[in-house]
Chains A and B, each alone.
Chain A
Amino acid sequence: MTTKDTGIYIHIPFCAKKCAYCDFYSEPYRKNTVEDYVNAVIRNVKAYSDKSCVADTVYFGGGTPSLLSPEQVGKILREISDSFILPDNAEITLETNPNTVDFRKLSAYRGAGINRISIGVQSMIDTELRFLSRKHTAERAEKAVTDAYNAGFENISCDVMIALPEQSPESLTYTLEKITALPVRHISGYILKIEHGTPFDTESIKNIIPDDDTTADLYIKMVDFLKKKGFLQYEVSNFAVSGFESRHNCRYWKCLDYIGIGASAHSCHKGKRFRVERDLQEFIENPVQKTIITDDNPCGFEEYAMLRLRLSEGLNVNDFPEHKSGLLKKIPELVKSGYINYDGEYISLTPEGFLVSNSVIEYLVF
């Protein structure tokens, strides 16, 4: 099986300091390890090499990818360019932490080929940032955005977190007001989720975060506010000025091909889903990353619907003709409750529907 195009995800599992809410895989930053890791990434890019395949997107995620030097990022991108067709209009994203970047470094990333920068702002209120155990301040975050813009990035995304303790519609609006005043084209707004086993997984934290109703109100507030500012919701947690939707992330929701490289990375490639162990050393030592198949026949109806329905575009009822009548039966009740819109072809969730999307999807597909 050959693939005409793919997305390449590079996981960079290093953090200077782990955030208390985060359960993604990361290890403390060590200079030599990072160099070994970068070399292992390059070996793996080679291993997946397909000179007839277009690498439409590249995404450096983490962890904290901005702990890589611009040179290291450049090396990896050169290898991708050698092993795949990397077109000029490829979307190449690097996630950054405001504390780890400045104008010079950002300019160097731009020079190395990065054309989209995603900044972990989270909030523009310092008390909220401290609660999240983020090391940066609102001021620093603002500077990271302007530095990126001045360094030549037109496609800048910021992460924002909602459902923080004592967050009010007003304080959320303040954060969003500040961010949308900056040269930002894309915003990811995530609801804080207490992950099992993280430092936040305690009763005292759970007691101070907003309840479901308050959270839902904040979410709707965010959707409405961003819409007014020209950021349209295109996915459960993602908003963009038209034309700046994340092409890479959309590959996930559309069941398109992507190759994940690095410890804990996930792939959907050549008709299989697979993952790599959360083990940094093993990844560095193996000539080629060891993959574990999680699904050898992905993108069946349930999975496809579940992913598609995360997008505002929604699910085309004709995509799985055998399920069409089942879906049609359930549409009226959901439309009546305001959870979905249906235009005769696409089922698309409304913001209220996104909020309860697990249940809406379950209701639709089972």
Chain B
Amino acid sequence: MSKAGLIAARLLQILPTFLLIGVVVFVLARLLPGDPVSAALGDRATDEAVNRLREQMGLDRSILEQFLLFLRSAVQGDFGQSIAFRTPVTTVIAERLPVTLALTGLATLIALALAVPLAFVAAVNANRWPDFLIRGVFQVGLSSPVFYVGLILLTVFAAWFRWFPVGGYGEGFADILWHLLLPSTTLALSFSAVIMRNLRAAILEVLNAEFVDFARAKGLSRRVVMIRHVLRNALISTVTLVGLHAGSLLGGAVITESVFAVPGVGRLMVDSIFARDYPMIQALTLILAVVVSLAFLITDLIQMALDPRVAR
């Protein structure tokens, strides 16, 4: 199958998942306690105003109708007005989504930058002190809740040393990087522990493979053997792992953004839940699911590029 064909097949596979996500999101939002209309207008609104808004939001129709309306507008990219912001939901999300993508993207880079070299050192020194040290430190990282790590980094590096801002988001590449460095490091810590653990095991397995002996027998330098033959093969399974963790990374972003007051979609999600902003919650959940699916797709593509056995 050609690469384009494979991509098309994967996209088709995603569609029924999207539909199910739509159902779940819709049902969930209807189940939320409290009336969105009174939440939007406050307790003192006139009945007339309430009814007008109900009609506007389509809340006076049957559930099935509401669902179909929801689906139709979702496909058109129209998620309605935000109750809390009183602007189109998509406008708010379009503003916030890049922040979260930057945060999680940077976190992934930091996680890889930490995990890959250290997994390598740990595997090469398997069951000797560098291995135990690295695994021990990462075990602590893995067992530390994101909000706790965030609070500590925030207090130490932003409040005490004042090296970083205590929160928010910057303007321009350098400023954004400066603002996001602490939150993404926070997010990266437990993620890098997961990657390290997986990659270390993969490297150990590859080190035992006969093609590594053969590469050495060819007289290749240690560097070439380790990077081109060992690391490259071990990284294939790590790519899959990174992709599969896209969801938990976004979940972590919800907490990180809350701790560091980063104006991304994670924080928006929490705020919207407390504000009972139905349209916002629906749109966010759908979009986050789409983001995760796309991450899966990208993972598949990278894997195809790395492993010729997958594609052809």
Q: Do A and B come from one complex?
A: no
Query: Which residues of B pack against A, CB within 8 Å?
Result: none
